[in-house]
Structure formats: C-alpha cells, structure tokens
C-alpha cells in the first residue's frame, strides 16, 4: 500500500463527480425532476459506483473503475418532452439491454457493427447544445462568466483533468464572494426517493435506445481500451453484467446508466497510482469509498447547486464536455468516405427535432445509417 494509491483514487473520484455533477442537475431540470428526485438521482448513481467498482476491483484484482454515463447525461439533457417517470422507465430498459449485451455475444457484435463515425456524429450533435449553451452565458452575465472561462483555459494548459474542477470551485467561491448566494443550505444526509417508472414507446425508442448506444460506444468501449492500454485484460462480459445490474437496481431511484470509466480509469491504472501493476487494483476500493461519501451527502450537493447562479451550472456543464465533443468530431470525420453520413447524423441530432414523440437522436441514427448504406452501395457498384 502506498499513499499514491489513495491519492489517485480520490483525485479520480473528484474529477468524475465534481466535473460532471452539473450535468446531472441540467438533465434533471430537463426532465422536470424535483429537488428530492435530483438528490435521489445523485445518491443512487454514487451508490452504483460504490457497488460496481468495489466488487469488480476486488473480484478480479484489477483497477476496474466505473462511472456514470457523461454522454448519456448530455443526451438526457437535450431530450425534450419526457417526464422523470418516463426517463426512469427508459433507464431500466437501458440497464436490461446492457445486461443482455454482457450475456449474449451476438448482440455486442451487432452493436460494434454500427460505424464509429455514425455513433460519434450522434454524440457530437448531443454535445453541441451544451457547448453553445455555455457560450450563451457570456452576454447574460459577462462579469461572472468570463473570468471563469479564462481560468478554465489557463488551468488546462497545466492540468486538463483539473480545469473543470477549478471552474466549479472557483465559481462557487466567486459566487459567495460576490454575494450571489442568498442562503447557504444546511448539511444533510441523503435519502432515496422511489420513482415509479412509466414505460412508453416514445421513451424506449427516443431515449433508452440512444442512451444504450451512446453508453456502449462512448463509455464502455473506451473504458475497456484504457484498461488494455495499461496492460490489463478486462473481464468484458462480467463488467457489463455488473454495471448493468448496478444500473437496474439504481434506476428506480432516478439514477441513469452506470458504465466503464475512461478518464477516471486512466488516473487509476497508470504507474503514478502504483509502480506495480498487480497492486493498482487497490485504487478500486478507495475510489468506491469516495463515492460512498458522495452518496451520503448527495442531497447537500444538490441543495448547494440549487442556490448557485444558473449561468455557473450551464457553463460548467458545457466546459466539462469540450474534450468529449472534440474527440467525437474527430472520430466522426476520421474516415473520408463516411464523413457525409457522420455530418447528417450530427445535423439531425443537433437540430433537436421530434417526430411522432420520438427524439432527434433516434432519427439521426436512422438518417446517418441510411446515407452510410447508400454510400456503401455506390462504392460497391
């Protein structure tokens, strides 16, 4: 045991939690969730991280780090017309799909056949709304927003992983210093709120299916790749089954999808965590314990975010997704013969259209695949 093990685990947990908590707030607002439901969401998803990471790391003696689906939150936040109970129903369906994927290899093979350019174009379109939303905060509150933007781009020159956290904590401090926070919420322990799911065809097609595809393509696959790059061979099927089960158990309390981590995993799987690869698995239990602490005080975090200036939440959410958006656009345009299909997918997703009650992400997938198949037919002719 080394102190670096604990430090790496705690830093990874803070980066994952603090850097994207604003996205949960934004997603819950889009669904019309109450503050209690939002607090339950945070608590339940943190408990899912505690269970999945703790069990997988201990069972397989590898630093198997899990996280919540950040692109999934962006998708939820950009999906209009769904209620919280409908979203819970979609979360349950997504969790079941992930479990089945871990049990049946043909299904995972089918998902892997969706071109990366199409999946990345859909993700880029989802993230587009958050990036432009962050830009729109500038004319609304320039004296508050502009210094935080400068702080972000300066900090990322030295430590990109800490840049969003710097904006979050800097923004909170700035808000208190400037008298922008009228009341300070009391510290309180979290409670779980049971939300009865509502299953609708529109939510299944317009929310659950895109959430499943985005989570698999943008979270689980990169997460496994990070582990392999660090010299580990992750138990892919077991990891999908466990994260799917964690998602299924936490969904009735408002939590969205759990999955493999990428950025947080990179912090815990490298030599800075421990020079001996066989000992790096110890980061898993400490990472899990960090999320248990976050779960205990999830209600306090949500209450704090509720009294902060709204532009800060929008800004942090947008800045947290810049890296993911750059990566998504890079992958979408990587192959020249697939660029048109990728851009069609991006455009339809970013448009936010809804047809027959089904959101843009689904129609973007259909449109992108149609263009892709037409191009394939042309190339073979």
The pLDDT tens digits for 211-265 are: 998 888 778 877 887 788 788 888 888 999 999 999 999 999 999 999 998 777 8
Asked whether residue 379 is assigned to any structural domain, the reply reads: no
Number of domains comprising the chain: 1
105, burial (CB in 10 Å: exposed 0-12, middle 13-18, buried 19+): exposed
**pLDDT, tens digit (0-9, with 9 covering 90-100), for 153-211:** 999 898 776 788 888 889 989 998 888 887 777 788 888 999 999 999 999 998 999 89
Helix/strand number for the chain, H first, E second: 19, 2
The pLDDT value recorded for residue 268 is 85
DSSP state of 186: P
Asked whether residue 358 is assigned to any structural domain, the reply reads: no
HEC readout, 188-243: CCCCCCCCCCCCCHHHHHHHHHHHHHHHHHHHHHHHHHHHHHCCCCCCHHHHHHHH
Enter the pTM of the model: 0.80
Helical residues (DSSP H) of 61-191, grouped into ranges: 70-78, 84-103, 105-112, 116-140, 142-155, 160-177
What distance in Å separates the CA atoms of residue 139 and residue 315, rounded to the nearest whole number? 12
From 12-21, 171-180, 326-335, the region with the lowest mean pLDDT? 12-21
The pLDDT value recorded for residue 182 is 77
CA angle (125, 126, 130) in 5-degree steps:
105
Higher pLDDT, 310 or 38: 38
Going by C-alpha positions, the residue among 274, 275, 242, 271 that lies closest to residue 259 is: 242
Asked whether residue 361 is assigned to any structural domain, the reply reads: no
Q: Which domain holds residue 50?
A: 3-328
The pLDDT value recorded for residue 77 is 86
The pLDDT value recorded for residue 381 is 67
* Cα distances (Å, whole numbers) of residue 187 to 154, 168, 190, 297, 299: 32, 19, 10, 8, 8
Q: How far, rounded to the nearest angstrom, does the alpha carbon of residue 219 sit from its chain's CA centroid?
A: 8
pLDDT average, residue stretch 281-307? 90
The percent of residues above 90 in pLDDT, for the chain, comes to: 43
Sorted by sequence, the CB contacts under 8 Å of residue 100 that are 6+ apart come out as: 107, 244
Q: Are 195 and 85 in contact (CB under 8 A)?
A: yes
Asked whether residue 208 is assigned to any structural domain, the reply reads: yes
The highest-confidence range among 77-81, 205-209, 215-219, 307-311, by mean pLDDT, is 205-209
Specify the residue for token string 């985005």: 214
What is the crossing angle of helices 84-103 and 236-250, to 10°?
160
Q: How far, rounded to the nearest angstrom, does the alpha carbon of residue 296 sit from its chain's CA centroid?
A: 21
What distance in Å separates the CA atoms of residue 347 and residue 370, rounded to the nearest whole number? 14
pLDDT band at 1 (very low <50, low <70, confident <90, very high): low
Q: Are 44 and 296 in contact (CB under 8 A)?
A: no
The pLDDT value recorded for residue 94 is 96
Asked whether residue 371 is assigned to any structural domain, the reply reads: no
Asked whether residue 117 is assigned to any structural domain, the reply reads: yes
CA angle (315, 165, 135) in 5-degree steps:
15
Asked whether residue 26 is assigned to any structural domain, the reply reads: yes
The percent of residues above 70 in pLDDT, for the chain, comes to: 97
Bridge partners of 259, per DSSP, are 67
pLDDT band at 357 (very low <50, low <70, confident <90, very high): low
Asked whether residue 339 is assigned to any structural domain, the reply reads: no
């Amino acid at each position: 045991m080394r102190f670096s093990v604990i430090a790496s685990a705690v830093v990874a947990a803070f980066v994952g939690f603090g850097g994207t908590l604003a996205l949960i707030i934004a997603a819950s607002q889009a669904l019309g969730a109450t503050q209690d439901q939002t607090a339950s969401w945070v608590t339940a998803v943190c408990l899912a991280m505690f269970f999945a990471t703790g069990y997988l790391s201990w069972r397989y003696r590898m630093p198997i780090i899990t996280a919540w689906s950040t692109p999934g939150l962006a998708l939820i936040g950009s999906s209009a017309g769904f209620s919280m109970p409908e979203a819970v129903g979609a979360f349950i369906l997504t969790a079941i799909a992930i479990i089945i994927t871990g049990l049946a290899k043909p299904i995972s093979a089918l998902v892997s056949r969706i071109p990366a350019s199409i999946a990345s174009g859909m993700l880029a379109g989802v993230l587009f709304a958050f990036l432009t939303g962050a830009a729109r905060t500038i004319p609304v509150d320039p004296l508050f927003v502009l210094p935080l933007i400068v702080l972000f781009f300066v900090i990322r020159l030295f430590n990109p992983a800490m840049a969003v956290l710097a904006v979050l904590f800097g923004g909170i401090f700035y808000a208190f210093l400037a008298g922008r926070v009228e009341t300070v919420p009391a510290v309180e322990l979290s409670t779980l709120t049971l939300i009865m799911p509502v299953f609708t065809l529109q939510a299944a097609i317009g929310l659950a299916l895109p959430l499943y595809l985005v989570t698999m393509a943008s979270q689980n696959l990169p997460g496994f790749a990070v582990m392999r790059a660090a010299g580990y061979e992750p138990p892919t099927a077991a990891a999908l089954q466990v994260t799917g089960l964690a998602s299924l158990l936490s969904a009735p309390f408002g939590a969205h999808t759990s999955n493999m981590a990428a950025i947080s995993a990179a912090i815990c799987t490298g030599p800075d965590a421990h020079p001996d690869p066989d000992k790096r698995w110890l980061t898993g239990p400490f990472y899990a314990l960090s999320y248990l602490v976050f779960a205990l005080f999830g209600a306090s975090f949500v209450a704090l975010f509720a009294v902060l200036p709204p532009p800060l939440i929008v800004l942090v959410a947008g800045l947290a997704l810049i890296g993911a958006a750059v990566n998504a656009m890079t992958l979408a345009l990587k192959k020249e013969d697939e660029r048109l299909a990728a851009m069609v997918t991006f455009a339809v997703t970013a448009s936010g259209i809804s047809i027959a009650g089904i959101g843009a992400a689904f129609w973007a997938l259909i449109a992108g695949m149609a263009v892709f198949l037409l191009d394939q037919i042309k190339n073979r002719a």
